[in-house]
Amino acid sequence: MKKQLISFFKNHPSLKIKAKDLAKKLQIADEHGYAELKHFLHSLFEEGFLKKEGKRFQFNSPSSGKLIGTIQILENGDYGFVALKNKDVKDVFIAGKNFNTAFDGDTVEITLISSRRGKSLEGEVVKIVERKRTEITGTLHKDHSFFFIKPDEKKIHTDIFIPANKLSGAKTGDKVVVTDIDWKSPRQNPTGTVKEVLGKAGSFDAELSSIAREFGLTYKFPKEVLKDAEKISEEISNSEIRKRLDLRNKTIFTIDPEDAKDFDDAVSIADLPNGNFLVGIHIADVSHFVKDGTALYEEALRRATSVYLVGKVVPMLPEKLSNKICSLVPDEDRLTYSVIAELTPRSKVVSYEIRKSVINSKRRFTYDEVQKIIETGKGDFAEEILKLNRLAQTLRSKRMSKGSINFFTTEVKFSLDKNGVPLEVKIKEVKESHKLIEEFMLLANQIVAQHIKSAKNKKPVPFVYRVHDLPDREKIEEFARFVKTLGYHFDPKSANKSKQFQLLLEEVQGKEEEAVVNEVAIRSMAKAVYSTKNIGHYGLGFKHYTHFTSPIRRFPDLIVHDIINKFNSGEAEKNLSLEELEEICNHSSAQERNAINAERLSVKLKQIEYLKERVGEEFHGVVNGITYFGIFVELSQTLSEGLIRLRDMQDDFYVFDEKNYAVIGKRTGRRIRLGDKVNVKLKRVDEERREIDFILLED
């Protein structure tokens, strides 16, 4: 629809037209199509592609309005890009000298300077329309009689001066929150006022608070939200149980990480007389407690996701719900939403039902406990677990044969002392027990998405899908060039690219370059997002997919529960509109990206803290980035990333070969490429700048 509208207005640039007249021209007669048309007209107006006079819409050509967008500044501060609201104009390049007083993420107005040969348009910032931040965190320093903070965010490249009468009791070395930021001229530093002292820089609480502030995360829930939570009874009424499928006497159990506090999914399996299996995927019924119109609902929507920082969780829901009432703890009656499917021994879904239910979990398993049962065949509910595992293996095999791509992302786990200091860093192992649960969650999500798209439905139902677009052609070609430099083959012109990815990822499995190949492959892909428009999920190879299985920690799952419940009850007209759902999708996708970035920074800071006592030690790693100023290396044991600066490489003068992802010594011809294994010595750890520097050792 959006592409159709863009094409129409480009072909009729002078036409001013009402939505109802446009619907006639585009031969849109049904109510759902008209609602979608109005939604995307409004969306294109918000983006600046269209302008509006009364009820009439018209193409807004780039030359006819102000160029306004969001500035994205690179970490080194050399340059940035402005993504314009008018999506018809490509991103505009901004040199560092032309930032004016813009911070990364600000909404700015720009003027065009020129078009860079063969590249994007170039512009300069002429006005700050809206600041992204009202607060900035950093460490307080003093130089002679001047106080200033160095911002924590690497994309903010200027110190902020603090007048002596605006320190609010802060002392040198404190981690502080600065507000009332005033920046009038790029020739002078911005000034601000200390609003809050978070603690001594480097302390566990101060660093966590700093990350939370940087990403707009809030630990504390508003009073009205906690009041809503307190009103909810922990007792389940008999009248509620009578409305539901009663599964309390069934063998149902949870499988989660050892340190998990909220359990939002459980599984079960039973033999059927015909030789098939009845598999149950039981999900916490959060939507029963979190109702639209309450403060609890609005706060969950605002947060949209739980955020898992190292040593601390910023939950989407208050603890009374997330860890108690909704959590599927053992030996307690809990309200659930169950997907119950009949599967053949070859994992074919014969039939299914999606029912409100009540369960009583018989056991809380950790992944390690289930793994031991899989390996030994002995333990509590071993028969059920082994059957589930065989089905999961078959489901995974079928999924892969149909084009699902098995990306592998390594993660680390920290052991912390009581003060939050990292004592040990381990790489998380992904075992058969993890894959068991993953397959049944994928199955439930797929069944729910297919259910809403069933051919029995005469009228389309506005819904929230989890979608993943096809990879960009240029990025795929670049990926193919990269793996070729490592000695692998990938055909970017292949009709079945997902099979190409599968074969390549299998080939690098267990090798040292596995992590970097996976990472670059993921970067070449589109990002998975939430959308009301079902375009399928390329990475998983599914035509229909949603998120249904984690409503304690993800808002879209909670909404999907509500939509399915009203749909099954014949009350689909009471659901949120397409426009409202699209807004929730966009917000949830943005909050998900924000959470991922916060979690990555949390991990990085702990890795830095772990390494600061190990300066001078030697490590083994893999080159995972090459730039004109240095080589990025990821250590094999801790996955910590640091930089070998080219200026520190004294054995030769190295130049950056962008085309071949390498640096080459001019005298020796020594070539260091992306994916190479290297030995390094830890030279410097700068906690404040969040930097790790290595020295390259001879092979």
Q: CB neighbours (10 Å) of residue 288?
A: 20
pLDDT in tens, 254-264: 999 998 888 99
Q: In which residue ranges of the chain is CATH 2.40.50.140 found?
A: 63-130, 615-696
Task: Report pLDDT for 49.
Answer: 72
Section 152-179 average pLDDT: 92
Whether residue 454 is predicted with pLDDT greater than 80 in this model: the reply is no
Question: Which pLDDT score is estimated for 628?
Answer: 86
Alpha-carbon separation of residue 557 from 41, 250, 282, 463 (angstroms): 27, 25, 13, 11
Question: Average pLDDT, whole number, for the chain?
Answer: 90
* Strand, helix or coil for residue 61: coil
Q: What is the pLDDT of residue 87?
A: 60
The most confident of the ranges 364-368, 537-541, 650-654 is 364-368
pLDDT (0 to 100) of residue 42:
82
With beta carbons less than 8 A apart as the criterion, state whether 425 and 638 touch.
yes
**Sorting pLDDT into bands at 50, 70 and 90, what band is 44?**
confident
Torsion of CA 360, 363, 368, 369, to 10 degrees: -150
Q: What is the pLDDT of residue 371?
A: 97
Whether residue 501 has pLDDT greater than 60: yes
Is 267 within 8 Å of 298 (Cβ atoms)?
Answer: no
| pLDDT class of 300 with cuts at 50, 70, 90 | very high
Contact 393, 433 (CB under 8 A): no
Give the pLDDT of residue 457. Answer: 61
Residue 363 pLDDT exceeds 90? yes
Residue-wise pLDDT for 458-500, tens only, equals: 678 899 999 999 888 888 888 888 888 888 888 887 767 788 8
Question: Which pLDDT belongs to residue 347?
Answer: 95
Is pLDDT of 76 > 80?
A: no
Q: What is the pLDDT of residue 170?
A: 93
pLDDT interval class at 63 (50, 70, 90): low
Higher pLDDT, 49 or 210: 210
What pLDDT, on a 0 to 100 scale, did the predictor assign at position 683?
Answer: 95
Average confidence (pLDDT) over 617-639: 91
The three state secondary structure string of 276-288 is CEEEEEEEECHHH
Contact residues for 668 (Cβ-Cβ < 8 A; gap 6+): 651, 652
Q: How does residue 75 score in pLDDT terms, banded at 50, 70 and 90?
A: confident
Distance CA 511, CA 679 (A): 16
Per DSSP, the three-state class of 360 is strand
Q: Where in the chain is the domain with CATH 1.10.10?
A: 2-60
The 3-state DSSP class for residue 398 equals: helix
**Within the chain, which residue ranges are assigned CATH 2.40.50.700?**
136-214
pLDDT band at 116 (very low <50, low <70, confident <90, very high): low
State residue 524's pLDDT score: 86
Residue 558 has pLDDT above 70, yes or no: yes
Question: Which pLDDT band holds residue 565 (cuts at 50, 70, 90)?
Answer: very high
* CATH match for 136-214 among 2.40.50.700, 1.10.3720.10, 3.40.640.10, 3.30.750.24: 2.40.50.700
Return the axis-axis angle of helices 555-568 and 432-452, rounded to nearest 10°: 50
**Rounded Cα–Cα distance for residues 38 and 46 (Å):** 12
CATH architecture of 63-130: Beta Barrel (2.40)
Query: What is the pLDDT at residue 98?
Result: 92
607: left (phi over 0), alpha (psi -120 to 50) or beta: alpha
For tokens 């160029």, the residue is 67
User: Residue 455 has what pLDDT?
Assistant: 53
- Which pLDDT value is given to residue 29? 80
Tell which wins on pLDDT, 406 or 627.
627
Is the Cβ–Cβ distance between 31 and 578 less than 8 Å?
Answer: no
Q: Judge whether residue 191 has pLDDT over 70.
A: yes
Predicted confidence (pLDDT) per residue in 315-341, tens digit: 999 999 999 999 999 999 999 999 999
Cβ contact 42:57 at 8 Å: no
Q: Can you give 131-172 as a three-state secondary structure string?
A: CCCCCEEEEEEEECCEEEEEECCCCCCCCEEECHHHCCCCCC
Rg over alpha carbons for the chain, rounded to the nearest Å, is 27
The per-residue pLDDT for range 399-443, each reduced to its tens digit, is: 988 888 887 778 899 999 988 899 999 988 889 999 999 999 999
Res 474: pLDDT: 84
- The H or E element that residue 632 is part of is strand 630-635
Average pLDDT over residues 29-46: 80
Give the range among 208-212, 266-270, 559-563 with minimum mean pLDDT: 208-212
Q: How many CA atoms lie within 13 A of 492 on its CB side?
A: 17
Let me know: does 184 contact 169? Beta carbons within 8 Å.
no
pLDDT at 620: 94
Confidence class for position 61, pLDDT limits 50, 70, 90? low
Using CA atoms, how far residue 56 sits from 59, 65, 424, in Å, is: 11, 17, 63
- Count Cα atoms within 13 angstroms, Cβ side, for 381: 22
Quote the CATH superfamily of domain 615-696: Nucleic acid-binding proteins (2.40.50.140)
Question: Which uninterrupted H or E stretch holds 161?
Answer: strand 160-162
Q: Which of 60-64, 248-252, 547-551 has the lowest mean pLDDT?
A: 60-64
**Do residues 98 and 124 make contact, with C-beta atoms less than 8 angstroms apart?**
yes
Q: How far apart are CA 358 and CA 346, in angstroms?
A: 29
Domain 2-60 adopts which CATH fold? Answer: Arc Repressor Mutant, subunit A (1.10.10)
Predicted local confidence at residue 515, as pLDDT: 79
The dihedral sign for the CA sequence 464, 293, 302, 554: negative
Q: Is the pTM of this model over 0.75?
A: yes
pLDDT reported for residue 503: 84
